[in-house]
Amino acid sequence: MISLISRGDVNVPEHAQCSPGAGARTMATDGAGPLPGLVEEFVTGQQDDRVGVAAAGVNAGQFTILQLVEALGPSLTSTQSQNRARGVQLLSQVLNECSSNLSEKEVEVLVAFYENRLKDDYLVTPHVLQGVKALTKSPAWSSGLAVSVLKSLFQDVHVQSLMLLERSCIYTILINLMESKEKELKGLGADFVFGFIQAMDGERDPRNLLLAFQIACNILQRGYELGSFTEELFEVTSCYFPIDFSPPPNDPHGITQQELILALRAVLTGTTRFAEFLLPLIIEKLDSDIQSAKLDSLQTLAACASVYGYRELKEFLPGLWSSLRREVFQTASEKIESAGLSALSAITSCLSRSVLSSDSDDALHVFLDLVIQDCRHHLCEPDLKLVWPSAKLLQAASSASHRAGHIVAAAIIPQLIEQYNNQTQASTSPSCAQRRTLLDVLQGFVQAANGGFPTDAAEDSVLCGFCEPLCEVIFSALSETSTGLQITASRILSALGRQPGLLTACHLEIAVDHLTRLILEEEDSQVCSAVLECAGSMACSHIDVFSSRMIPRLKSEIFSEPMVPEDGQEAARTQSQQAVRQRCIMALAAVSCQHSLVQETSSILLQVLASSHTGTSSFLPDDIIAACLSLQRIAEQVQDMEETGRFFHDVIIPRLLGLAVQAGLQCEGEYGSTPTKSPLMEEAVLLAIVPVMSTACARLQSQMAALTASRVVSFFLDGDTAFLPGNSLPSQPQLLQVSLVTSIMHTHTAVPGLRVEIPQVDRLLSELEELSCTSTHPFTYTSAAKCFAGLINKRSEGEALDLVLLKVMKRINVELSCTSSLLRRQAFTLLLWVTKALLVRYHPLASTLTDKMFSLLADTELSPLAADGFSLLMSHSTDVLNRACHADVRIMYRQRFFTENSSKLVEGFNLAEKDMKSGYLKALSHIVNNLPRQVQLTELPALLPLLLEALSCPDQAVQLSTLSCLHPVLLDPPPPPALTLQLDELIFRLLGLTTSPAMKVRIATLRCLHALSHFPDHMVLPFRARVLRALATPLDDHKRLVRREAVMARGEWFLLGSPGQ
Amino acid sequence: MSGTTRLENANPLIFERSGERVVTAEEEDESLADPIDDREIFDILTAASINDPEHPLSLEELNVVEQVRVRVDDSESTVSVEFTPTIPHCSMATLIGLSIKVKLLRSLPHRFKIDVHITPGSHASEDAVNKQLADKERVAAALENTQLLEVVNQCLSSRTAGLA
């Protein structure tokens, strides 16, 4: 044994051959019977599976590594290098399996052996390296061993003449040793780095490069001594920069260019000592014509600037700046522009961090002066050519730090204001667009100044000194007629308003007056939404001004009676008054961001509802809907829900409910006698009231939600009206309209509380079931079914739920099976909603119900309804059974539904009678349409024949929905192989649809044809002539929207296969 | 942009683009017919497509094509487009005119008679260019020329495809 590993026996001397052989023979006699045979089989018999047996033997303790080595003796000492290689291979592979339970002594001996074997034949080396790699995983390395291994490795192995796998072995050995033996390796000093540099010099394989970059990164980050090799290490890694790598097709290793880029970037930016080499390299690479090289250089620059200090950057600042400026000024690519801007920002923030020294200039000032000097003149040139790139550069610099913000703002903002004012006075025709541009630029600065570094005190704000002139500019722009100016001005205003204390009281008052005036007068919807946004953001920090100046004006406008139109001419005027009223109502919601404002605004909104109910003022249903929407928005946007939630709970919900019930009763009482119906009874209005309550409830704390729920339930079941304001109502809960209102209420109040117990839930469910099965009013039975579904969805599993389900299914089946029944529609609606409720929570009964739905596709009366029902099953419903109302919705239920049912659907389609087929196609297209794109793509091959079938189905809805699910598939390169086979068929059918009578179908068809033009030339070129001829017809379509699509599609098909495409 | 050839007009004046055409209720109504109007032709020429060969900007942004200089009569099936080269000596004028003409030929029903010419007084060799553009055979011959067709097609590549 000893002689085997004694140093110097490279050529396997004669005497060594004998002694281990003898040892092995003795071992074989005592116990380890199979071992020599096993070795024999592996080495000469070439049976690779013996490794597993040997490894299992070692792991199970049948024999030790020592015994294995002894058994290997003859092969390790063979004169045939193949045999030696085979022997080492067996040992290495066994070690790979059981390196963890080696003792320190064993490791030492084995390592010494391997070290020695490194000098052996090239056939042996790969296995030796594998062995060393296996050993580096063992924790039992005695001290000094690592150093000796590395020395041998660096000395005896020429890494780059090895094969890919062996090189990878070397890197892994280094990585493993760096993990476990850091101290010892550092003891090697710069030799380690030198060895590594030699090892990786010339590496080409991306997999190995990732390892090598990791080692280099470790060297830099863990503080290994670089000695005189700093530049060499930089050279050996930076020669790959910028990385240009395109993975081969079907790459099994999955290495991307991005991975390599990031790994290399970590190395290059890993130390400040590389600065003097890296920065010139970056400047050089920025001159490259290759976009990706530029991008990588800019991103690397941004990364290293965040590590470097002024000292590193100092020398290169002018060079870097001129490169950056050039990139941003001249590039056509947004990516490069934004990378350039972030690099500038990183440099600026690096300079801002640098400590000022007394004897030199402020580095930041010097650099920013350079930037400002190069950019500012572009801002004042009359034609404003390079104004945007300059502004972006300046803003990027100013957003880097507070100090930079101050410096840039001080230089630029006054100049912009002056320029704007000059233009205003000139007031020639093109100046409006130019002023708009100036104002846009100004807005960018104000937002950058405010957004980046919010300060506590207004005096610290960058904008502090410019408030007065800024306000003047804003107010003058707000009074212009140009919408662009108004929009931008209101954005600047809202940016200023966000910083508390910046605007003086006087300015605020003027600003609020301007905003109010715009709300009342401005018709343009864009201006209007900009103004509302501005008002909303300002209201948060300036409550008093808004409540004293804006809200009263809005209120009086809302309640001012529009003049009664006397003739046709007046109609237009009242229409505009109508619009003003609705804007005011919207504005109330916009400014309600704080509790005291909510109190004021919501009481006005409730007043609108109340007075429209009593008929004291003439509000149209649209006004009431707007008021409800505003209440809903308030419920959605309010920040502190605790206080406001209580307000909603105590005041708003009861009043809304009270009003609805009163309206319902009144309507019921006077039914048939008087035509004066309260506007609150319109379905649209009711539908608008509902989300107010549900949104508010969904945001309530569970305690209050529970209280609301129990109140409403007892109201519905027992007619308990005690909590409603002015409770002089007669208790007659059975009235149709009352139940209608309350049933919707239920859906929503019940739905929110996942943890909220609903009292008397069983009674409630049976009432709802009854209502949904017997009511003849579509709105009522649908709402009841929804409500039922919402409750079912949340019931916990168990006997109670099963009983309810059993009962309801029995009832549905009875109703549906009786073809003469008048209540089949009701039963179907209930079935649909219950199916959805169970489907989204993965309830086992869902599949039974789904099958029922499928069977209805063959029902002559209900087939169209059932087909459309699938759209409801698969889509997101906005009012119930969604996560916002805390429903139990599992992820990927659509995919699951699809995989479970697609085959049934196809089967059903094949079996169905001819005129029933369209229902199946419609159902299919609904289902496929709602699937995520990725699933659509994988499922397409199986479904394509059916989808093509669907294209020729006469039902326009089917055509449209099929086209809309084909379109994204066609847009997604590369085209799925299933499609390529049927392209002929597809194009033929599409061309047929270009003359469909339905405009939407024509448009969708043309979009699909447009998408097809981006398919690879060889696939679509054969169809070019035919498609061009067919597309000439829709060019003369009578609808403009169709012509537009046709023009685009035909243009693209013309370019196909012609030069200059 | 790092090219060595000098641009004739390296820094053109850029004009604001008019917004997207707003879709009206009449346009969504199946039963009504929308006649082809000036704005539609203008959009065909600007919104989706033709780029100036020298600048990555649309003809609208360079004010080469303006809506007021586009006239169409749907019932008579005639279209007339006047375009204004960026500078009076623009050597690309013929090419721009050709591109406009080709775009219209590809985008309009066959029944239309298409007339493309330079805005009077905006170019040094106005008559020559107009004559070339009006000559059917010369246009057809030009499109037989692969190199010329390549440049025209490049101008016509839609902006999205161009950037991708």
Residue A1061 has pLDDT above 70, yes or no: no
Cα separation, A897 vs A935, in Å, equals 12
Answer whether A1038's CB lies under 8 Å from B33's CB: yes
Find which of B30, B104, B106, B144 to mutate to test the A interface (most A CBs within 10 Å of its CB): B106
Radius of gyration of chain A measured on its C-alpha atoms: 39
Q: Which of A168, A157, A73 is nearest to A113 (CA)?
A: A73
| Per-residue pLDDT band at A747 (split at 50, 70, 90) | very low
* pLDDT, position A297: 92
**Which chain A residues have a beta carbon less than 8 Å from that of B156?**
1051, 1054-1055
Q: Which of B92, B142, B139 is nearest to B115 (CA)?
A: B139
Answer whether B115's CB lies under 8 Å from B71's CB: no
Residue A420 has pLDDT above 80, yes or no: yes
Answer whether B100's CB lies under 8 Å from B70's CB: no
Q: How far is B67 from chain A (nearest CA, A)?
A: 17
Instruction: Read off the pLDDT of residues A555-597 as tens digits, 9 standing for 90 and up.
Output: 888 887 655 545 555 555 567 777 888 888 888 888 887 788 8
- Check A1038 against B109: CB less than 8 A apart: no
Which whole number is the average pLDDT over B11-37?
72
Cα separation, A315 vs A275, in Å, equals 10
Give every CB contact of residue B65 below 8 A, 6+ residues apart in sequence: B42, B45, B46, B50, B59, B81, B83, B84, B100
Residue B72 has pLDDT above 80, yes or no: yes
Cα separation, B27 vs B45, in Å, equals 20
* pLDDT, position A378: 84
Tokens read off for A81: 């290098």
Query: A741-744: which pairs have CB atoms within 8 A and are 24 or more residues apart?
Result: A741/A657, A741/A660, A741/A661, A741/A664, A741/A686, A742/A661, A742/A712, A742/A715, A742/A716, A743/A716, A743/A768, A743/A771, A743/A780, A743/A783, A743/A784, A743/A787, A744/A686, A744/A690, A744/A783, A744/A787
Q: What is the DSSP string of A282-318?
A: HHHHTT-S-HHHHHHHHHHHHHHHTT--HHHHGGGHH
**Which chain B residues have a beta carbon less than 8 Å from that of A331?**
1
The region that residue B11 occupies, defined by phi over 0 for left and psi between -120 and 50 for alpha, beta otherwise, is: beta
Answer whether A477's CB lies under 8 Å from A439's CB: yes
- Check B27 against A1040: CB less than 8 A apart: yes
* pLDDT, position A302: 92
**Most confident of the ranges A191-200, A595-604, A883-892, A935-944:** A191-200
Cα separation, A400 vs A349, in Å, equals 5
Instruction: Read off the pLDDT of residues A916-945 as tens digits, 9 standing for 90 and up.
Output: 777 888 888 888 888 887 777 777 777 788
* pLDDT, position A802: 86
**Bridge partners, residue B118, by sequence:** B83
Is pLDDT larger for residue B51 or for residue A930? Answer: A930
Q: How far is B83 from chain A (nearest CA, A)?
A: 20
DSSP classification of residue A356:
P
**Helices of type H across A181-256:** 182-187, 190-200, 206-221, 230-238
Mean pLDDT, chain A, rounded, equals 79
Three-point CA angle A261, A265, A268, nearest 5°: 140
Which whole number is the average pLDDT over A892-913?
83
**Which chain A residues have a beta carbon less than 8 Å from that of B43?**
1044
- Check B107 against A1047: CB less than 8 A apart: yes
Cα separation, A917 vs A909, in Å, equals 6
Instruction: Read off the pLDDT of residues A750-793 as tens digits, 9 standing for 90 and up.
Output: 444 444 556 677 777 787 787 778 777 777 777 778 878 877 88
Looking only at the bridges linking them, the beta strands covering B78-83 and B65-73 are antiparallel
Beta strands in A535-692 (DSSP E): none
- Check A1043 against B36: CB less than 8 A apart: yes
**Which chain A residues have a beta carbon less than 8 Å from that of B151?**
1060
For A287, nearest residue in chain B (alpha carbons)? B2
* pLDDT, position A1002: 92
Give every CB contact of residue A188 below 8 A, 6+ residues apart in sequence: A147, A150
For B19, nearest residue in chain A (alpha carbons)? A484
**Which chain B residues have a beta carbon less than 8 Å from that of A1010?**
none
* pLDDT, position A666: 64
Q: How many helices (H) and strands (E) does chain A have?
A: 54, 0
Question: ipTM > 0.90?
Answer: no
| Per-residue pLDDT band at A13 (split at 50, 70, 90) | very low
Which whole number is the average pLDDT over A672-685?
59
Give every CB contact of residue A340 below 8 A, 6+ residues apart in sequence: A298, A324, A327, A328, A331
Residue A831 has pLDDT above 70, yes or no: yes
Is pLDDT larger for residue A454 or for residue A152? Answer: A152
- Check B163 against A1058: CB less than 8 A apart: no
**Helices of type H across A670-760:** 683-699, 702-718, 736-750
| Per-residue pLDDT band at A729 (split at 50, 70, 90) | very low
- Check B40 against A1040: CB less than 8 A apart: yes
Mean pLDDT, chain B, rounded, equals 76
- Check A1059 against B153: CB less than 8 A apart: yes
Instruction: Read off the pLDDT of residues A107-144 as tens digits, 9 standing for 90 and up.
Output: 888 888 898 888 888 888 889 999 999 988 888 888 88
Query: Directed axis angle between helix A595-614 and helix A621-637, to 10°?
Result: 160
Answer whether A170's CB lies under 8 Å from A132's CB: no
- Check A385 against B109: CB less than 8 A apart: no
Which whole number is the average pLDDT over A629-633?
85
* pLDDT, position A455: 56
